[in-house]
Amino acid sequence: MPPFETLVFCTSHVAGPAEWAARYRRWLDHHCAMPWDATLFCLVDDASPWQPPAGEVQVVEAGAALPVAPAPPLMVRFEDYLGRQSGRRFPGWWRSFAHSVAVARHHGCRRIVHIESDAYVLSRRMQAFLASRTAGWTAMWCPRWSFAESAIQVICEDQFDAVQRLGEGGWARFDGAFAERVLPFTSVVREPHGNRYSEFRTRIPGYADFAAQVTPAQRVWFS
């Protein structure tokens, strides 16, 4: 059996210690505390100008050899910044997202769970759903905009080649596109349920299984 069954990752670009604590450390603390089995946590980073303390993450350059058995969560960091030029032009995100498959394959993972750094799994039902997928590329549903929610996805091993193909042909081909419209999901599910609650209410409702675009002021939980 490989050392890791699941890769749980987010994309990142950390401006400094305040953003690390408020966004990325919060994300790690929340999701690492869940009852995952044989899971590697990773941030795929777009050349952050600031790096977190060594005891909190293990930073590895994207072109370097990955460690065999990382102890703390990984940060796989690109040296050149691609960034986000506009609301529909974000090559840094595309590169980081597609690179997740290289990390997953290196560590023998059977699935990739993408949870964006401002998205949160809130219920055991949701976490169990993500951890139980064995085939396909699954996205949740965003009721707010009536499309697939790209902030939380599960990509199983049979779809790893599809992720790799995203990185072929250059990032400019995604300019002007919403990820929700172009990612090749094989299924979009409405249960478990969640939403981009911060766009229309102050608090996340207690019945939510997940939430996307969570603000620092919004309380999150796992129950």
Closest CA to 116 of 149, 73, 159, 69: 149
Residue 103 has pLDDT above 70, yes or no: yes
What's residue 1's pLDDT? Answer: 47
Q: Cα–Cα distance between 180 and 182 in angstroms, integer?
A: 6
Residue 119 has pLDDT above 90, yes or no: yes
Mean pLDDT of 15-22: 97
Percent of the chain with pLDDT over 90: 89
Residue 2 has pLDDT above 80, yes or no: no
What's residue 34's pLDDT? Answer: 97
CB atoms within 10 A of CB 107: 22
Mean pLDDT of 156-177: 93
The string over 74-84, giving b where at least 16 C-beta atoms fall within 10 Å of a residue's C-beta and e elsewhere, is bbbbbeeebee
Residue 19 has pLDDT above 60, yes or no: yes
Q: Cα–Cα distance between 44 and 57 in angstroms, integer?
A: 12
Residue 87 has pLDDT above 80, yes or no: no
Instruction: Kindly report the pTM of this predicted structure.
Output: 0.96
Cβ atoms of 139 and 188 closer than 8 Å: yes
Mean pLDDT of 32-46: 97
Q: How many CA atoms lie within 13 A of 37 on its CB side?
A: 8
The string over 46-61, giving b where at least 16 C-beta atoms fall within 10 Å of a residue's C-beta and e elsewhere, is bebeeebeeebbbbbe
Mean pLDDT of 1-27: 94
Cβ atoms of 190 and 121 closer than 8 Å: no
Round the average pLDDT of the chain to a whole number and report it: 95
CATH no. of 6-211: 3.90.550
Cβ atoms of 169 and 91 closer than 8 Å: no
What's residue 88's pLDDT? Answer: 80
Which amino acid, 202? T
Which amino acid, 189? V
Cβ atoms of 118 and 212 closer than 8 Å: yes
Q: Cα–Cα distance between 159 and 101 in angstroms, integer?
A: 10
Per-residue pLDDT tens over the stretch 182-223: 999 999 999 999 999 999 999 999 999 999 999 999 999 999
For the chain, what are the domain ranges? 6-211
Cβ atoms of 57 and 72 closer than 8 Å: yes
